[in-house]
Amino acid sequence: MKKNLWLLACMIAGVITMAACSSENDEPAPTPTPGPTPTPSGGITDGKKVNPGDMKMSALSGYVYTSEGTPLQNVQVTSGNAACITGPDGGFSLERVNSVNGRTVVTFTSDGYIDLTRSMKTVAGDVWEVTMNPTWGNNNIASDTKKVTEDISVTVAGMTVDLQANGLKYADTGEPVGTYEWVTAQMLYLSPDDKDFASMMPGGDLAAVRNDKSEVQLVSYGMSNVNLTANGLKVQLAEGKPATVTFPVPEKFKNDTPEEIPLWSFNEDTGLWEEEGVAKYDSQQNVYKGQVTHFSWVNLDYPESRTTLKVNVKDEAGNPIPNLMIDVDGQRFNSTDVNGMAEFFVPINTEFYVTVRSRDYSNYSPEVKVNVEKLSVGTTKTVDITLPTVAHISGKVVNSGKGNNLSSLWIEYGSSNATKAVHTDAEGQFIINAPFDYKGAAKLVLLASDGSTQKFDITLDGKDHAYTVNIKTDKATGGVITYTPTGGTAKSIVIAPIFVSDFMGVEIVDNHMNLSSNNLSLSIEDYAEGKSTYNNAYINCNGYDAGFYGKVANITLTKNEYGNYTFKVSGAVQGENWVDGTPTYVTVGTVTGEFTAPLLGKGKNIKPVTKKESFFPSFTPWIDAVKPTSALQITECPLYGTGVLLWYYDNNLNYNNYKAFKEQAQKALGTPVKFFDADNGGSTDDISVSYFYKDGKYIMVSYCPWREENPEDLEFLPDMSLWCLRENHAARIQVHAMEGMTSAPDDLMIIHGQ
């Protein structure tokens, strides 16, 4: 499916639901990044206990993670004409899905990550966990670039792909790749020894079709994705020029090496693996070698007839446990339904295990693992698992604002622990498994559909509790605009939801407004509070099949009670050309539409800085004899509060001055939470930086010995922005002091080169 169809589908889908997942044990799930926290409206009261069997979940929901286990935001989740975008926690929810012959087929795409199509038996209210691999920088990925006239060989983790010289053609046209062209071959290898193998693979349940159309169940010995490009265009293997693939034998199958194993390719339309060829075992090298005639995903799998496995999970009180992830032999991964039942197709003649991971059930330990002996055709095996009874926190979310009741909730407890998150159902109902081994004060955390986060105090005492959670939130941010190039066809461009947790949104410094998002930036030079109409705003918008840059004729700007800004755009777009140093403008098209964005923050530039001003946080490090060259007062920032950024460009400043500021910061906020300088392996001749954080107060002190005062730098000092919060070596010395933070400043604490 073309990506522009996703863009349209995303707007049709409407509601974007986000969830978060976190716990602490041997395989901790990440804690979601908080979104903007508005002034709470409403609160929490006692409510009605929720029965999981009464919940009306969306057709499909779940979470997307990176290969490092962190939530992946802004993933395009598409199933037929339904789509959504993952939130800060990687959560997604679809009200309907594309079902092909009883199988749900969903595509996950994100810039910088390898596209992934997942497919499972269609189950109403199903919950998935998906892992996406980056296009580079991963131990499972390797690439090589050579002229097409040379043989190309790529190896990673024991997997090798060998391409023949002069053996490639352009995928779209079929024309051979030219003699002088360079070709890049990139390969991702997935090993069944990897604990996340089942969540990373395409498909998801290893269902396959043989050449005779018979359905089989696969036992995977590994799979790879090979991407070939030349001049930025996709290329494929030419006729008569097959590639050789060499698969290592996984550790888990080291004693099970058949003479031949079929090769399979993945059909993204049906969500099934299809027989492609065969690989033969080389006992001397302990590898399987075969040939393929085209590339997408290639899978080395042994086929078996299938039978059915049912996993029935209850607690000791006899209650079914819904939405619990079940791992079958590391090759299949699915969740229980509202009745605590999960069903799988499994291969016959194969021993396997069934596991409930500790992190998926209230951090219960030891991990539950049941071994299952080989099954035969026509049998249905039921595995009963009983887990300890835990307390449940349930209830309903009621939204009195413009937003909806759809939310994600989890519990934070102890010093830094969190439960797995859950989606609410269509009516706002939720149920959370409380921590297995904790009693005491905790917080019920809610991530609303507009990206805002609210926290409510609760007490965990080992008993069930039910709450009604009252919130008042705005509708989701983002929007859609339509751009029509002169003489061209109109294109709809979706502006994805914008979250200040990504350090994106509306920034107002002095009389300049800037909006940044994943695919749009906007600049208004003469912004003024109360002024609603502008005709000189610049917009740079990048859609997947459309985009434009220029001055937009008409923009109407409004701000609502939630602090969000809505931009309505219309009229001609003037493109800018420079001739002999003078800009000229020509109409390049027209645009219409609207989008909404949250406030990232507001600030005022100060120059010169002659004294410690009253609006500086009281704990701001300050030395009377050393005057800042410039400062930015941050008057409002939903995540990071208010404060000041001080920049010192004096060439005479040295490491001792940095130490003096650092000592003041340490006296105010205690030991730095993160630092790198001569005190822990650094050098006084290199960048030094220290970060301090305590009870919503934050200080950064940095030193850059080679940053000198010069006219070029000073020329731009009056134009500092909130982005400078992430900077630590733009001046000889920098001092940042903020108070009233609602989010820990993890993404501000950068140690270069570490």
At the fourth CATH level, which superfamily is domain 306-387? Carboxypeptidase-like, regulatory domain (2.60.40.1120)
pLDDT value for 421: 82
Per-residue pLDDT at 149: 96
For residue 661, pLDDT over 90 is answered with: yes
CB 494 within 8 A of CB 543: yes
Can you give the pTM of this predicted structure?
0.73
Residue 671: band (very low, low, confident or very high) from pLDDT cuts 50, 70, 90: very high
- Sort strands 505-509 and 512-516 into parallel, antiparallel or unpaired: antiparallel
pLDDT band at 546 (very low <50, low <70, confident <90, very high): low
pLDDT at 312 exceeding the cut of 80: yes
State the pLDDT at residue 543: 59
Q: Where are the domains of the chain?
A: 1-305+401-435+444-453, 306-387, 478-597, 602-748
Please give the pLDDT value at position 232: 85
Contacts of 155 (CB under 8 A, 6+ apart): 142, 161
Q: What is the pLDDT of residue 734?
A: 96
For residues 42-67, give the mean pLDDT: 89
Residue 363 has pLDDT above 50, yes or no: yes
CB 325 within 8 A of CB 354: no
- Per-residue pLDDT reduced to its tens digit, 444-500: 999 888 878 889 999 999 999 999 999 998 888 888 899 999 999 998 888 888 888
Residue 85 tokens, joined:
């975008």
Amino acid sitting at position 518: N
Indicate whether 181 pLDDT > 50. yes
Q: What is the largest CA-CA distance in the chain?
A: 86
Encode pLDDT of 395-433 as tens digits.
999 999 988 888 889 999 998 888 888 889 989 999 999
What is the separation, in whole angstroms, between the first and last Cα of the chain? 41
Predicted confidence (pLDDT) at residue 293 exceeds the cutoff of 60: yes
The mean per-residue pLDDT over the stretch 108-127 comes to 90
Q: Concatenated DSSP letters for 315-369?
A: ETTS-B--S-EEEETTTEEEE--TTSEEEEEEETT--EEEEE-GGGTTT-SSPEE
pLDDT single digits (tens) 186-241: 999 999 999 889 889 999 899 999 999 899 999 999 999 999 999 889 999 999 99
Type of residue at 543: G
Mean pLDDT, rounded, for 651-674? 96
Tokens of 235: 């290329």
The token duo for 399 is 């939204």
Contact 255, 198 (CB under 8 A): no
Average pLDDT taken over every residue of the chain: 88
572-620 pLDDT per residue, tens: 999 877 777 787 888 999 999 999 999 999 999 998 899 999 999 999 9
Tens digits of per-residue pLDDT, 154-173? 999 999 999 999 999 999 89
CA angle 594, 596, 601 (to 5 degrees): 140
Reply yes or no on whether the pLDDT at 53 is more than 90: no
Cβ–Cβ < 8 Å for 560, 473: no
> What is the reported pLDDT for 721?
87
Quick one: which of 33, 103, 29, 104 has its CA closest to 68?
Answer: 29
Which is it for strands 272-282 and 207-209: parallel, antiparallel or unpaired?
Answer: parallel
The radius of gyration of the chain from alpha carbons, rounded to an integer in Å, stands at: 28
Q: How many residues does the chain have?
A: 754
- Asked if the model's pLDDT at residue 371 lies above 90, the reply is yes
CA angle 198, 17, 121 (to 5 degrees): 35
Q: Which of 66, 73, 68, 59 is nearest to 19 (CA)?
A: 73
The candidate with the shortest Cα–Cα distance to 343, out of 111, 530, 121, is: 121
In the three-class reduction of DSSP (H, G, I as helix; E, B as strand; rest coil), residue 266 is classed as strand
